[in-house]
């Protein structure tokens, strides 16, 4: 645990007692603060009280008298579409609002660092798609070279559940827009922006607010190095804002759509090959086509971003290449779960929006596509070009019929995962890929995209293991 610094002796309110909220409350107490907690869920409150934490509701602005700060869990809105009432009371009372990410950055460095030979560093990764894989890949590469490292944030552990840093350690954080939008302190050493596509638009009041939330990771703390995907206008704009000129190698531009040229520092992938250019000259190349854990252009983008981040940490290209080949990928992200009778089964339940599903579709050929769920804003038009390799779609979800009508491929309304998998397996031929890439949220039928992916795996196993 990382004890929170700077709030000793203060009363601090904590709203939301899930993974991040509970760990924040415990870290506040470890740092000498007095947390006062609340969650509308009685079970969450009971878990906090079992840890010896005080729980009390905040029903008015007056309830914040004597409170130094309000710590809010990521899922709780603080501005759009409307502030949570407790957040509104805090703002009315003039109490600063923060989250566990802000607490982490104000507390990570300690006096013990004065005795270290190599200062610990933080690599923070954000973006619409690929940030989990990119973060996990960076962490995997660091483990491969036996460098002390920890992985946390929107993946795995809460940031305040990390152990205090040791000499030369690297902490890799995956940060969502919900986390970067509110944190009062954002000071990574290396910041990574993978890409941007429409998502969480109600929470951020549109694309401008969504991009602004991501941009804060770069604008608030001024990282020493910035790795920026430049295949969208927003990425190109961000790279331009951070750079002092064409030769400024503090900004590393990343692309999977075109060769990048110029006197700066670029990493790009074309036709399955990653290339690194510095000062107009190629300095490294990696063949990504044989890297089983990183299939498709979207994963090649993740590879480029992770490669660039690791290069800023002083790792050699050949070392990074070796680590790529031992990376197994993440569950529910282009995860090959089985092969039977010449048919490959791939679980990409994390493809919860149109852009991520389109990238999954472009990674394979001869696809039996399982899709559908709770449709997000913007419709499904972005899937039209990507679905050229789809032989047939098998649509799940409570609104499967309406979802199917928007697709430009042959589609069968299945409703449940069990029916969809059974129909796809029955019709699949040798060389086909049965791909779960829903292009929708899971909450109409499942608690999470993980549960949806687990159901897909279970249904596949039930058939092929007969």
Binding-site sequence positions for ATP: 127-133
CA torsion sign for 7, 12, 14, 19 is positive
CA angle, residues 355, 356, 360, in degrees to nearest 5: 120
Residues in CB range of 346: below 8 A, 6 or more apart: 334, 335, 336, 337, 360, 364, 433, 434, 435, 436
Determine contact, residues 184/96, Cβ cutoff 8 Å: yes
Determine contact, residues 358/296, Cβ cutoff 8 Å: no
Determine contact, residues 213/186, Cβ cutoff 8 Å: no
Give the pair of three-digit tokens for residue 119: 């200062």
Distance from the Cα of residue 391 to its chain's centroid? 30
CA distances to 20, 48, 135, 354 from 156, rounded to whole Å, are 11, 20, 11, 25
97 SS3 class: strand
**Residue 282: exposed, middle, or buried by beta-carbon count in 10 A (0-12, 13-18, 19+)?**
exposed
Give the pair of three-digit tokens for residue 284: 């490294």
Give the pair of three-digit tokens for residue 363: 């990674």
CA distance 423 to 425: 5
Determine contact, residues 89/172, Cβ cutoff 8 Å: no
Residue whose tokens read 């430049």: 230
Residues making up the binding site: 127-133
Give the pair of three-digit tokens for residue 309: 């981040």
CA distance 327 to 312: 20
226 SS3 class: strand
133-158 burial by CB neighbour count: b if 16+ within 10 A, else e?
A: bbbbbbbbbbebbebbbbbbbbbbeb
């Amino acid at each position: 645990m990382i004890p929170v610094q700077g709030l000793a002796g203060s009363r601090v309110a904590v709203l939301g007692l899930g993974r991040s909220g509970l760990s924040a409350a415990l870290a506040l107490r470890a740092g000498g603060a007095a947390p006062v907690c609340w969650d509308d869920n009685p079970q969450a409150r009971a878990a906090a009280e079992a840890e010896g934490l005080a729980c009390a509701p905040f029903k008015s602005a007056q309830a914040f008298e004597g409170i130094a700060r309000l710590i809010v869990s990521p899922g709780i809105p603080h501005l759009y579409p409307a502030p949570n009432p407790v957040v509104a009371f805090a703002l009315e009372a003039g109490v600063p609002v923060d989250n566990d990410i802000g607490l982490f950055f104000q507390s990570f460095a300690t006096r013990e660092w004065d005795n270290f030979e190599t200062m610990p560093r933080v690599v923070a990764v954000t973006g619409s798609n690929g940030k989990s894989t990119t973060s996990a890949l960076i962490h995997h590469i660091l483990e491969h070279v036996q460098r002390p490292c920890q992985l946390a944030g929107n993946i795995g552990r809460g940031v305040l559940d990390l152990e205090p840093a040791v000499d030369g350690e690297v902490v890799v954080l995956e940060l969502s827009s919900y986390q970067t939008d509110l944190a009062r302190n954002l000071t990574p050493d290396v910041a990574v922006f993978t890409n941007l596509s429409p998502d969480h638009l109600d929470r951020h009041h549109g694309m401008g607010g969504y991009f602004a939330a991501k941009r804060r990771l770069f604008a608030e703390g001024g990282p020493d190095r910035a790795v920026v995907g430049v295949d969208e206008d927003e990425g190109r704009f961000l790279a331009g804002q951070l750079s002092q000129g064409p030769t400024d190698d503090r900004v590393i531009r990343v692309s999977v759509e075109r060769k990048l040229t110029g006197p700066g520092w670029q990493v790009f992938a074309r036709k399955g090959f990653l290339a690194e250019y510095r000062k107009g000259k190629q300095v490294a190349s990696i063949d990504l086509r044989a890297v089983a854990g990183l299939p498709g252009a979207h994963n090649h983008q993740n590879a480029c971003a992770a490669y660039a981040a690791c290069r800023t940490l002083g790792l050699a290209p050949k070392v990074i290449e070796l680590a790529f080949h031992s990376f197994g990928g993440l569950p529910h992200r282009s995860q090959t779960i089985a092969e039977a009778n010449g048919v490959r089964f791939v679980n990409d339940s994390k493809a919860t929006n149109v852009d991520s599903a389109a990238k999954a579709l472009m990674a394979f050929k001869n696809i039996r596509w399982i899709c559908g769920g709770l449709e997000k804003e913007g419709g499904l038009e972005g899937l039209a070009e990507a679905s050229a390799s789809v032989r047939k779609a098998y649509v799940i979800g409570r609104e499967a019929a309406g979802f199917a009508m928007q697709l430009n491929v042959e589609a069968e309304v299945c409703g449940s995962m069990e029916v969809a998998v059974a129909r796809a397996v029955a019709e699949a031929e040798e060389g086909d890929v049965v791909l779960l890439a829903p292009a929708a949220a899971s909450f109409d039928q499942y608690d999470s995209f993980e549960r949806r992916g687990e159901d897909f795996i279970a249904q596949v196993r039930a058939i092929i293991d007969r």
